[in-house]
């Protein structure tokens, strides 16, 4: 618990099948309804039962940008969690555990062990998940929260199972609450109340909602962790929102189906992870050749191949840059957090409609499967919709050139079926009217003309998109550069560096294509020292940045063990590099193992 402000983190550990999500979700709802900010991260394994799972829930009275560095409270649902994490708890922290099944180890001085005699408190209830509800009561008591708030939450959670189940859960939670009040020392700082209730969502839900707000009417996917949450939200809300949702047999079918729907005129979107994206890449190039506006989402996980299916990484940047063969125009964007992911989708759809080309969103497990607080007033469910040069009036001239060679490179687009606008669409290179140039003498001038026509669409496109901006003091000792999901953790690291006397600023790059090369060069050329932070081994963004700008940097902080950065990882890396010990720092993971 940080003095001067409320910043509280609890960890819940156990095995798959022990119901870890239930207490986590219950507490998350309680906190955000109280007006507190929330950031969660769940480290889990890719097996149905067993394996170690560790959920971190961090809340604060001001915005929290990462899951943080420390734990104030540890809830152990099995012995494995106690063995792994007890040594990480420091003075003033609490450890809750079922004393019937778990034996505590040697705790550091100042750590309060809080054993729950679950069998006694639940009158020998044989449901193994009952310890979770008892623990909720204990946590509420130790945080000084009113039990009636928990009672209402449990009623809402279990009412679909009947009043008997509601009464049972409320009863055991009350037993835990009363036991803690009589036996455990509460935390010395009470939980504040924010100015207004907030909501909670995941990054995948934000991506899906962004699609719905953008006017998506067709969504398809093959379930692949960690992108499946987008499909779940779409399927759950499809009927009410008038969206056609299809689960397809594989990612090749997904990509082609999405492109077909987009070609027919509706806004279409699909999501997958790196392995599925690999199967989609030929079709993405097809969308580029056919000039079809469609959005693909790649939620990165640790690769290559199946890799580590339930762990995060930023390893697919070059995969997106090299998706499909040949030269073609496409947008590539890496949102920085869940709200940014929501806002990015409508913006991207407007851009792909304007430029008649595919767009690629690069998310990752950290954003997509994390759960975050959001102010509902910040969610614009009616963003501006711009379908570009879309012809809507029938014609009687029958002289339509679908790929007309215009000064801007953008050809007026008529949807299939519009009277008087007959055209051919195929994956081969074509002339202005869509006739394939490989079906005749392959005229090199026609090929060159069409390549240059498509390229002109991107000539000034960067000016239509906000460039990255430097956060922090202009005259800083160093500039930390990141992309995508590292935004929050770098932001908090900058504040921690300030506390130890190091002034830093922060440049976060979101748009990969188009890359604002001049703006980035102008900023970094003024930096006294530059360090790039990436969640991959090879420095993919650094290599891309260097290839586009010629810029070099002074140092690197990289992580590739499947877990995301914590703020102190970046702080330690900066301090070691300022001391001249290294120019490439790789932190060792302490907690989420």
For residue 428, tell me if it sits in a domain. no
Domain stops at, among 346, 378, 410: 378
Domain's final residue, options 378, 408, 435:
378
In a domain, 446, yes or no: no
49 compared with 90, residue with greater pLDDT: 90
Residue 276: its pLDDT value, please?
98
**Parent domain of 509:** 467-585
Domain membership of residue 363 (yes or no) is yes
Token pair in block for residue 42: 């769940």
pLDDT of residue 113: 98
539: pLDDT strictly greater than 90? yes
Indicate whether 236 and 295 sit together in one domain: yes
Contact partners, residue 112, CB within 8 Å, separation at least 6: 93, 94, 95, 184, 185
pLDDT at 589: 72
pLDDT at 399: 85
- Structurally, the chain folds into a number of domains equal to 3
- Give domain status of residue 37, yes or no: yes
Is the distance from CB of 104 to CB of 82 less than 8 angstroms?
yes
Cβ burial 53-73 (10 Å sphere, 16+ → b, else e): bbbbbbbbbeebbbbbbbbbb
Pair 478, 364 in one domain: no
* Tens-digit pLDDT profile for residues 2-20: 556 899 999 999 999 898 9
- Provide the Cα torsion 492, 495, 499, 503; round to 10°: 130
* 569 shares its domain with 507: yes
Shared-domain flag, residues 70 and 205: no
The whole-angstrom separation of Cα 515 and Cα 502 is: 29
H-helix segments, 105-250: 118-121, 130-142, 147-158, 163-183, 203-214, 228-241
pLDDT tens sequence across 435-457? 999 877 778 999 999 999 999 99
Mean pLDDT check: name the lowest of 185-194, 242-251, 284-293: 185-194
- In terms of domains, do 118 and 241 share one? no
**Are 218 and 344 contained in the same domain?**
yes
Residue 447 forms part of a structural domain:
no
pLDDT of residue 439: 73
Residue (of 156, 168, 166, 95) closest to 127 by Cα position: 168
What CATH number did the domain enclosing 554 receive? 3.40.50.920
Q: In this structure, is residue 408 part of a structural domain?
A: no
Predicted pLDDT of residue 543? 98
Three-class SS of residue 401? Answer: coil
CA 589, distance to chain mean position in Å, is: 20
CA distance 119 to 125: 6
Mean pLDDT within 314-335? 97
Pairing of strands 37-43, 50-60: antiparallel
Task: Report whether pLDDT(520) > 80.
Answer: yes
Whether 149 and 287 share a structural domain: no
The confidence score (pLDDT) of residue 592 equals: 47
Asked if the model's pLDDT at residue 215 lies above 70, the reply is: yes
405 vs 388, 394, 402, 432, CA distance in Å?
A: 16, 21, 9, 7
Of 343, 378, 413, which closes a domain?
378
Query: Would you say 261 and 285 are in contact if contact means Cβ atoms under 8 Å apart?
Result: no
pLDDT at 440: 73
Q: Does residue 102 have a pLDDT over 70?
A: yes
Cross-strand partners of 201: 372
Q: What is the CATH number of the domain that holds 113?
A: 3.40.920.10
- Whether the predicted pLDDT of 553 surpasses 60: yes
- Same domain, residue pair 257 and 359: yes
Residue 73 φ then ψ, to 5°: -140, 135
- The answer on 223 and 179 residing in a single domain is no
3-class DSSP state of 272: strand
- E strand or H helix that includes residue 269: strand 267-272
Any domain includes 406: no
- Tokens 């959001």 map to which residue? 374
Query: Is 426 contained in some domain?
Result: no
Q: Answer whether 396's CB lies under 8 Å from 420's CB.
A: yes
**Predicted confidence (pLDDT) at residue 591 exceeds the cutoff of 70:** no
- Provide the pLDDT for residue 1: 56
What whole-number distance in Å separates Cα of residue 58 and Cα of residue 507? 25
67 and 154: one domain? yes
Query: In this structure, are residues 75 and 23 in contact, taking their beta carbons and an 8 Å threshold?
Result: yes
The residue-averaged pLDDT of 575-586 equals 98
CA pair distance 379, 374, nearest whole angstrom: 8
Q: How far apart are CA 437 and CA 443, in angstroms?
A: 7
pLDDT digits (tens, 9 = 90+) for 387-405: 999 998 998 887 899 999 9
Residues 6 or more apart in contact with residue 272 via CB below 8 angstroms: 221, 222, 224, 227, 251, 254, 280, 296, 297, 298, 299
* 145 and 213 share one domain: no
Candidate from 123-137, 187-201, 443-457, 536-550 with smallest mean pLDDT: 123-137
Per-residue pLDDT, averaged over 105-128, amounts to 93
Flag whether pLDDT at 480 surpasses 80.
yes
Residues 179 and 253 in one domain: no
Least Cα distance to 234 among 202, 211, 258, 259 occurs for: 211
Tokens of residue 421, six digits = 């606008």
């Amino acid at each position: 618990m940080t003095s001067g402000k409320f910043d509280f983190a609890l960890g819940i550990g156990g095995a798959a099948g022990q119901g870890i999500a239930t207490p986590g979700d219950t507490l998350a709802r309680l906190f955000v309804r109280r007006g507190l900010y929330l950031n969660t991260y769940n480290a889990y394994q890719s097996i149905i039962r067993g394996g170690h799972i560790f959920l971190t829930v961090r809340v604060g009275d001001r915005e929290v940008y990462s899951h943080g560095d420390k734990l104030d409270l540890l809830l152990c649902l099995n012995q494995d969690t106690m063995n792994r994490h007890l040594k990480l708890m420091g003075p003033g922290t609490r450890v809750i555990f079922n004393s019937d099944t778990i034996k505590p180890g040697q705790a550091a001085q100042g750590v309060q062990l809080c054993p729950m005699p679950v069998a006694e408190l639940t009158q020998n209830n044989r449901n193994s998940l009952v310890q979770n509800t008892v623990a909720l009561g204990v946590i509420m008591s130790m945080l000084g929260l009113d039990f009636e708030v928990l009672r209402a939450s449990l009623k809402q959670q279990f009412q679909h199972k009947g009043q008997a189940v509601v009464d049972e859960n409320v009863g055991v939670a009350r037993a835990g609450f009363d036991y803690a009040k009589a036996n455990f020392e509460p935390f010395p700082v009470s939980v504040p109340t924010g100015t207004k209730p907030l909501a909670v969502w995941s990054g995948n839900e934000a991506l899906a909602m962004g699609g719905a707000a953008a006017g998506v009417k067709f969504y398809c996917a093959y379930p692949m962790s960690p992108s499946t949450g987008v499909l779940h939200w779409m399927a759950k809300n499809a009927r009410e929102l008038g969206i056609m949702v299809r689960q397809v047999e594989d990612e090749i079918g997904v990509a082609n189906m999405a492109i077909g729907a987009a070609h027919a005129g509706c806004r279409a979107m699909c999501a997958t992870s790196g392995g599925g994206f690999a199967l989609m890449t030929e079709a993405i190039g097809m969308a580029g050749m056919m000039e079809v506006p469609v959005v693909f989402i790649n939620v990165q996980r640790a690769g290559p191949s199946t890799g580590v299916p339930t762990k995060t990484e930023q390893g697919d940047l070059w995969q997106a840059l090299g998706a499909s063969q040949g030269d073609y125009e496409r947008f590539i964007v890496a949102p920085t957090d869940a709200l940014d992911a929501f806002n990015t989708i409508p913006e991207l759809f407007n851009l792909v409609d304007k430029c008649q080309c595919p767009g690629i969103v690069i998310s990752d497990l950290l954003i997509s499967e994390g759960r975050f607080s959001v102010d509902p007033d910040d969610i614009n469910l009616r963003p501006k919709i711009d379908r570009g040069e879309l012809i809507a009036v029938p014609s009687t001239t029958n002289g339509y050139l679908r790929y007309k060679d215009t000064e801007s490179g953008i050809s007026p687009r008529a949807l299939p079926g519009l009277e008087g606008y007959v055209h051919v669409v195929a994956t081969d290179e074509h002339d202005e009217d869509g006739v394939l140039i490989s079906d005749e003498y392959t005229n090199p001038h026609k090929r060159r003309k069409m390549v240059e026509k498509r390229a002109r669409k991107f000539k000034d496109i960067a000016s239509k998109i906000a460039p990255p901006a430097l956060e922090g003091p202009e005259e800083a000792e160093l500039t930390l550069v990141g992309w995508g999901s590292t935004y929050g953790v770098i932001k908090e690291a900058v504040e921690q560096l300030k506390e130890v006397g190091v002034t830093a600023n922060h440049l976060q790059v979101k748009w990969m294509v188009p890359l604002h090369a001049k703006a980035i060069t102008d900023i970094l050329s003024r930096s006294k020292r530059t360090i790039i932070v990436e969640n991959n081994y090879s420095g993919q963004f650094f290599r891309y940045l260097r290839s586009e700008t010629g810029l070099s940097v002074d140092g690197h902080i990289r992580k590739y063990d499947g877990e995301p950065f914590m703020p102190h990882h970046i702080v330690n890396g900066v301090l070691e590099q300022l001391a001249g010990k290294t120019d490439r720092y790789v932190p060792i993971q302490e907690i989420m193992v």
